[in-house]
Chains A and B, each alone.
Chain A
Amino acid sequence: QVQLQESGPGLVKPSGTLSLTCAVSGGSIDSSHWWSWVRQPPGKGLEWIGEIYHSGSTTYNPSLTSRVTISVDKSKNHFSLNLTPVTAADTAVYYCARWNTGRVGYFDIWGRGTLVAVSS
């Protein structure tokens, strides 16, 4: 059973860099899936940030593309998110999720999420 676990600082200063890692366990990141980041500001809805394939190919949300980098480390079986520069509007719970490339594609496995606050 594949499981995902996010990790990283819970507090980032404005104009700084938000860096998170998603560890994949119970399976290989080298499988035929894309790996995504999704965020949720407190009390609000879900926003897709971007995704990566084990080859390193990426796709980003057009509204965030200038600030986002997603990378993969196959040797550590994890993928990472960098978002910079950040503002208070980037305060959110950040989830990593597995994209299942089925008939229409869907997120079938999610991490538990990690809250990142942007504040001085």
Chain B
Amino acid sequence: DIQMTQSPSSLSASVGDTVTITCRASQSIITYVNWYQQKPGKAPKLLIYAASTLQSGVPSRFSGSGSGTDFTLTISSLQPEDFATYYCHQTYNTNTFGQGTKLEIK
């Protein structure tokens, strides 16, 4: 199984800040990684697929990068609606998710 390790597990930031969430795969997954946002009581929402492609309708302040084993999700100029939990997701070999990063308001 491919393990996806996210860091940090939680993060405090203020509106207007830029934050970066990292995901490391246990083996190379090329760019077979997606990022989702989940708010309490809601289903996950796709933000980015194939490591860096923004899903239609997602604000451009969200961006993704990386290849091989190391990937990042960056959120620029945080907005109040961005405070949520974020998950990375590999699809290179079946499906596994990272453990999540909870982004909280400082």
Q: Which residues in A have some Cβ–Cβ distance to B below 8 Å?
A: 36, 45-48, 59, 61-62, 95, 97, 102-108, 110-113
Contact = CB atoms under 8 A, between A and B. Distances in A.
Interface string B21-61: 00000000001111010000011111001110101000000
Given A59-B94, A104-B33, A104-B50, A110 B44 contact: yes
In this complex, the member of A46, A62, A113 whose beta carbon has the largest number of chain B beta carbons within 10 angstroms is: A46
Nearest to B97: A46
A95 B43 contact: yes
Contacts of A108: 46, 55
A60 to B, nearest CB: 9
B96 interface: yes
B81 interface: no
Contacts of A36: 95
Nearest to B87: A46
